[in-house]
Amino acid sequence: MTVLPTLPRPDERRGASPGRRSRRLPGPLGRLRAAETVAALVLLGVVVAALAPGLLAPGDPLAVAPADAFTAPSPAHPLGTDESGRGIWTRIVHGTGASLSIGALATLLGTGLGVLLGVAAGFGDGRWPGRAADAGVSRLLEVLFALPGLLLALVVIAFTGPGAVPATLAVGLATAPGYARIVRSQVRRVRRSAMVEAAVVLGRRPGTVLWRHVLPNALAPVVVLATLGLGQAVVWASSLSYLGLGSPPPAPEWGAMLSAGRTYVQVAWWTTVFPGLAVVLTAAASTVLGRGLARRGDAS
Amino acid sequence: MSVAPLLEVEGLRVAFSGRRVVDDVSFTVAAGECVAVVGESGSGKSVTARALLGLSGGQVDARRLRLGGTDLAALDERGWRGVRGPQVGLVLQDALVSLDPLRPIGREIDDALRLHTRLGPAARRERALDVLAEVGMPDPETRLGQRSGELSGGLRQRALIAAALVLRPELVVADEPTTALDAEVQRVVVDRLAALRDAGTGVLAISHDLGVVRRLADRVVVMRAGVVVESGPTEQVLGAPRHDYTRMLLAALPRGVARGARLSPRGVGPGPVVPAPPAAVPSRSAHAQAPAPAPVPAPAPAPAPAPAAAPDVVLAASGLRRVFTARGRAAHVAVDDVSLELRAGETLGLVGASGSGKTTTARLLLGLDDPDAGSATLLGQPWAPLRERDRRGRRAQLGAVYQDPASSFDPRWSVGRVLADAVTAGRRTRPTGVAAEVASLLDRVGLEPGTADRHPASLSGGQRQRVAVARALAPRPRVLVCDEPVSALDVSVQAQVLDLLDDLQREEGLAYLFISHDLDVVAHMSDHVAVMQQGRVVEQGRTAEVFAAPQHPYTRALLAARP
Amino acid sequence: MTRPSPTEATGEAAPRRRGAAEHVLRWTLARVVGGLVVLWAVATLVFFAVRLVPGDPAEAILGGPGSQASAEALALVRQEYGLDQPLLVQYLAQLGRLATGDLGTSYSLRTDVAGLLLDQLPGTIALALASLVVAWAIALGTAWWATLGGRVAAGVSSALEVVAAAVPHFWLASVLVLVFSTQLGLLPPVSTGTPVGLVLPVVTLAIPVAGFLGQVTRDSLLDAASAPFTVSARARGESPSGLFRRHLLRHAALPGLALSGWAFGSLLSGAVVVESVFARPGLGRTLLGAVTLRDIPLVTGVALASALAYVVVVALGDLAERAVDPRERAS
């Protein structure tokens, strides 16, 4: 589960002699682009499934047919059926909306909160209001980090009770510290950069410098981070559902499906493996895409 | 009686993915001889050096590549591992990164011994201590256990050389051994290499610093874009060069060139991003070059006699002091009682070793930092210390040019956007014709108008620096602070930028504060010079006087340390 | 032989710092104080969270509005927590209790929270530590393989790392149980007391962390492999394996060590799922039960224990980092 996606550092030595070996991942550029294209297609499919599940899986995910329970993967049901005879494929597709929306909303919440906290803390060097903000936010972040990931989400749920909305809130809060820490270091780095100094020498006012230079450059990686973080948010959201703390049954959410299938794993492995695979594919695709975006941003 | 050369290179070619980086290069090195390979970036000299150790990568082939009795061209990787160390040693430039910063230097030296000899731990330690003493390391026992970061500049360079020497290789390859080092440390390295040469080791020195080459090398090979353009004994190549390129390189050196005289041929533009293919046939030894008529920069007449009255003082500093405190460390006095004066149309050079306080002084004068004591005035008005809002309106009077312009541009912006931003900055009203002003700025610094659409990262180092100068000029300043503006540039490009700065100063009557660690550049560019050491100005005065008859021992040491 | 100049003779790069012993003392003190601050902050947050939740705090402590707590239980809680008293008094009383090690009573399990935690903690710590070791081994192993195997190996290990980092614990556990337990019958599906029963839980926990550690390690490995000191080492005739062992390994491990706090946290949070899947007793499972039943005292206790463990691990990771890289660094 990626919590802290690493930002590739910009290659600072330009004009290096041709003999110098590049530090980027080896492999022809073509191969990397293929992976990203596949990832983008997968995510596209996921989004389609979330918005219009009927396109990919006509059929009712809630229709119970006890006679068909536990059929292995077959032409009629490509991924088999679960304990109530519902098609796994249909349920996975229809569950995309629930799983993805929790993950996406939680990521939005996490990045929003993380950016606010990170920017506030990033102005910590200098006069005292900034320093106080930095000290306060940094301590808060330390505390939040001391309750890592799922633990923090669980603690939040303990207070709010289970459900889809509390799960969204919990995952959002749990991902915020990671973003905040990176945004904070970005803001500090940009504020100390030669670019900002040059702007000051030109006579720009601090507000202008902030708006024109600091924020756009410091927050540029946030989109990439959010893409990387989306996969992780989906993983956590489905973990919460798996533990019975997210979307209540019979909603076809991936984690919940896996939880239900757990008891039958010995007889019907497809009830467990396929819903989890959906989570893995989504998370992996968003990670690959995010890293590809990061590399593109690095190269430009 | 001719001695067979130690190293024979004939027809060396190195290509990366089909692109030839080194093309048909040939030279020899004899025992007890130092051969220097000179060239600018992109010349292929470093790749050539690495190829002699099998570390260049890419496809390497040669008609002949022999070291002593070994045929290097026939070696596989295993064979190379036997040759590297005992037969050929490599000395890179900065010991801080060329020795593993996490390991004590004793271990680095010990590794070489452990890989190639069968000596036991005690014997290896003896050898290590011996070689450290040989390179002049004081107190070798203690040094063995220290890491490169714990040693001062000169000592760690000695350690680096010791690590390459400990197996007594017949040939030592030194790749840019003096670049980015302080003058005193450079001298240490050069003396060490000279001693090696005198003791009978063959030395191949790669450098772009012709001063070092003069001191160290018996013969010189000049490379450009992967090809050898000229080679021969040092006095001949550097004294009476036959090839255009060599002549241009020598003419670009600022040492001894009068103030105001050009260093680069007039009309030479910024040049293409990739170095052009050479026009000359690679010479191997005695083939005479038909010397094409080259625009030799004529020694310019002495600059116009100084006006009867001294020009106005535009920037004055008095008693500046800046102390940095950090938790757990003693307070560091970066600038201590510094007083300077800049006059219109004149240049004040500021020299000193790294850490002497030059950059901090520049920051204080630019108003990027406030002094703890002392004051500065700009055009007669108070300038520092002052509330930023009281001085922001006057910032148009000052401009700054840095060593690395790329980091001072917004990475998202094109050149045109950078300049347009500089044109509109600090002015209350938006001037019409911003585009026209940008075009005129580009023209003044010798760049094509099309440059405005390009991204700074796609430009060459020289072009980027011109953009930085253009940006500094945009608000029409009276003073330019240049902090190591040409240190990262090749000699020929450096010459062009220095000429540009000179032209602009004459046209606009600008005052320059010119900071550099390179005494030759400062001597060429400055009317007055101030020498800094550990935060204090130890000597200042007219450049010619200070350099001809230095009073302070530190100034004397700096001048003596020049190769 | 040139004599060193006077400025060189001392050879010291930076002014001497204070003695080593005092340095260690300051560092330890800073850590302890920092840790206490974190614990205090967690306790305070929980305190206010309980009282901010709409409704009766006593009810919240007992499991929320749906808990149907009896009137006597409510009265008992009100008395124990002094909920009638002013907020400040309650707060100070709570801090006082925590300072003496009284973490309250779990209403769902009817036992003393502190004792319960001490019981469960070792099992989870053992699981997390074993998983950390395995994760590091996998990360370093794939990094080493990538340096030796060239482009193919690097591409494969990169792909593996992405997948490993994207895999949720619950699914991985199920798949591993499916393969090794159901099909191959090699390993038990639930935790027995034996070391064999530890294998699947440890592997499940380790893989996602190994995925991320592997990415970070490989990035810094690539950096180090093209650094000048590597060229110097190769110029001495160093072999690839010697290069890795003596130089690259240390450099590659540095960012991972800096992340050890995060890694341990990730393991702790993963332990929640892994312990419930493999029916292993431990803090994770306890927390899960507590959250499901909304047993606030127990949740508080686990949160504090986790925070404490995290602080300790971060401090240890910092020590390890300094041991590998003693250079001075600005924070």
Top mean pLDDT of A140-144, B6-10, B72-76 is at B6-10
What pLDDT is attached to residue B287?
Answer: 35
Top mean pLDDT of B158-162, C140-144, C168-172 is at B158-162
What pLDDT is attached to residue B4?
Answer: 75
Q: In this structure, is residue A5 part of a structural domain?
A: no
Q: State percent of chain A over pLDDT 70.
A: 85
Q: State percent of chain A over pLDDT 90.
A: 6
Say how far apart CA A66 and CA A63 lie, in whole Å: 10
Q: How many residues does chain A have?
A: 300
Q: Do B19 and B67 meet the contact criterion of CB atoms below 8 Å apart?
A: no
Mean pLDDT of A133-150: 79
Say how far apart CA B490 and CA B472 lie, in whole Å: 22
Which residues pair with residue B381 across a beta bridge? B378
Average pLDDT, chain C: 79
Q: Is A18 on the interface with B (CB under 8 A)?
A: yes
Closest CB from B46, B392, B409 relative to A17? B46
The residue with tokens 């463990």 is C309
- pLDDT band of residue C66 (cuts 50, 70, 90) is low
Say how far apart CA A151 and CA C305 lie, in whole Å: 12
Average pLDDT, chain B: 85
What pLDDT is attached to residue B268?
Answer: 52
- pLDDT band of residue C119 (cuts 50, 70, 90) is confident
- pLDDT band of residue A15 (cuts 50, 70, 90) is very low
Q: In this structure, is residue A89 part of a structural domain?
A: yes
* Per-residue model confidence as pLDDT tens digits over B385-415: 888 888 888 888 999 998 888 889 998 899 9
SS (H, E, C) B264-308: CCCCCCCCCCCCCCCCCCCCCCCCCCCCCCCCCCCCCCCCCCCCC
What sign for the dihedral angle of Cα B513, B517, B522, B528? positive
Mean pLDDT lowest among A91-95, A128-132, B425-429, B557-561: B425-429
- Domain B313-325+335-409+460-560 adopts which CATH fold? Rossmann fold (3.40.50)
Q: Is B553 on the interface with C (CB under 8 A)?
A: no
Q: What are the backbone angles phi and psi of residue B233, rounded to the nearest 5°?
A: -60, 150
What pLDDT is attached to residue B230?
Answer: 93
Residue B422 reports pLDDT greater than 80: yes
| Closest B-chain CA to A189 | B407
SS (H, E, C) chain C: CCCCCHHHHHCECCCCCCCHHHHHHHHHHHHHHHHHHHHHHHHHHHHHHHHHCCCCHHHHHHCCHHHCCCHHHHHHHHHHHCCCCCHHHHHHHHHHHHHCCCCCEECCCCEEHHHHHHHHHHHHHHHHHHHHHHHHHHHHHHHHHHHHHHHHHHHHHHHHHHHHHHCCHHHHHHHHHHHHHHHCCCCCCCCCCCCHHHHHHHHHHHHHHHHHHHHHHHHHHHHHHCCHHHHHHHHCCCCHHHHHHHHHHHHHHHHHHHCHHHHHHHHHHHHHHHHHHCCCCCHHHHHHHHHHHCCHHHHHHHHHHHHHHHHHHHHHHHHHHHHHCCCCCCC
Residues of chain A contacting B393 with CB distance shorter than 8 Å: 203
Mean pLDDT lowest among A242-246, A283-287, B10-14, C149-153: C149-153
Q: Which is higher by pLDDT, B130 or C186?
A: B130
Closest approach of chain A CAs to the CA of C176, in angstroms?
11
| Structural domain total, chain A | 1
Contact yes or no for B475 and A203 at CB 8 A: yes
Test the A interface: residue of C50, C158, C162, C183 with most A CBs within 10 Å: C162
Q: Do B320 and B374 meet the contact criterion of CB atoms below 8 Å apart?
A: yes
3-state helix, strand, coil in chain B (%, to 5): 35, 25, 40
- pLDDT band of residue B48 (cuts 50, 70, 90) is very high
The residue with tokens 């686990």 is C302
Query: Which chains reach chain C with 3 or more Cβ–Cβ distances below 8 angstroms?
Result: A, B
Contact yes or no for C237 and B112 at CB 8 A: yes
Contact yes or no for B112 and C7 at CB 8 A: no
Which residues pair with residue B515 across a beta bridge? B350, B483
Residue B240 reports pLDDT greater than 80: yes
Q: Is A299 on the interface with B (CB under 8 A)?
A: no
* Residue B118 per-residue DSSP state: -
Cβ within 8 Å of residue B114, ≥6 positions away:
B124
Q: Residue A134 belongs to what H/E stretch?
A: helix A128-146
What pLDDT is attached to residue B286?
Answer: 35
Residue B99 reports pLDDT greater than 90: yes
Say how far apart CA A59 and CA C6 lie, in whole Å: 87
What pLDDT is attached to residue B13?
Answer: 93
Residues of chain B contacting A202 with CB distance shorter than 8 Å: 395, 421-422, 425-426, 471, 474-475
Cβ within 8 Å of residue B239, ≥6 positions away:
none
What pLDDT is attached to residue B285?
Answer: 34
Q: Is A13 on the interface with B (CB under 8 A)?
A: no
What sign for the dihedral angle of Cα A276, A278, A282, A284? positive
| Closest A-chain CA to B369 | A197
Residue A272's domain spans which residues? 48-299
* Per-residue model confidence as pLDDT tens digits over B276-333: 334 333 333 333 333 333 333 434 444 445 445 677 888 999 999 999 887 767 888 8
The region, left, alpha or beta by phi > 0 then psi within -120 to 50, assigned to residue C150 is: left
Residues of chain C contacting A262 with CB distance shorter than 8 Å: 174, 277
Say how far apart CA B394 and CA B54 lie, in whole Å: 58
Say how far apart CA B160 and CA B166 lie, in whole Å: 10
Please return the burial class of A262, using the count of CB atoms within 10 Å of its CB with bins 0-12, 13-18 and 19+. middle
Q: What angle do CA A58, A61, A64 make, to 5 degrees?
A: 120
Contact yes or no for A203 and B411 at CB 8 A: no
Say how far apart CA B182 and CA B558 lie, in whole Å: 10
Say how far apart CA B96 and CA B83 lie, in whole Å: 25
- CATH number for the domain spanning A86: value is 1.10.3720.10
Say how far apart CA B182 and CA B533 lie, in whole Å: 13
What sign for the dihedral angle of Cα B131, B136, B142, B145? negative
Q: Is B147 on the interface with C (CB under 8 A)?
A: yes
Q: Considering only CA atoms, give the Rg of chain C.
A: 25
Closest approach of chain C CAs to the CA of A222, in angstroms?
19
**Amino acid at the residue B339:** S
Say how far apart CA B38 and CA A141 lie, in whole Å: 54
Residue B504 reports pLDDT greater than 90: yes
What pLDDT is attached to residue C6?
Answer: 42
pTM: predicted TM-score of the whole model, two decimal places: 0.79
Neighbours of C73 (CB within 10 A): 17
What pLDDT is attached to residue B152?
Answer: 85
* Per-residue model confidence as pLDDT tens digits over B247-267: 988 888 888 788 888 888 776
Which residues pair with residue B9 across a beta bridge? B27, B65
Mean pLDDT lowest among B215-219, C80-84, C174-178, C254-258: C80-84
What pLDDT is attached to residue B30?
Answer: 92
| Closest C-chain CA to B116 | C237
Say how far apart CA C310 and CA A187 lie, in whole Å: 27
Q: State percent of chain B over pLDDT 90.
A: 51
Mean pLDDT of C105-134: 84
- pLDDT band of residue B123 (cuts 50, 70, 90) is very high
Please return the burial class of C324, using the count of CB atoms within 10 Å of its CB with bins 0-12, 13-18 and 19+. middle
What pLDDT is attached to residue C19?
Answer: 64
Mean pLDDT lowest among B57-71, B479-493, B525-539, C159-173: C159-173
Closest CB from A10, A18, A201 relative to B16? A18
The residue with tokens 């197996």 is B167
Residue C13 reports pLDDT greater than 70: no
CA-based max dimension of chain C: 94
* Per-residue model confidence as pLDDT tens digits over A36-55: 888 888 888 888 888 888 77
What pLDDT is attached to residue C18?
Answer: 52
Q: Which is higher by pLDDT, B517 or A17?
A: B517
Average pLDDT, chain A: 78
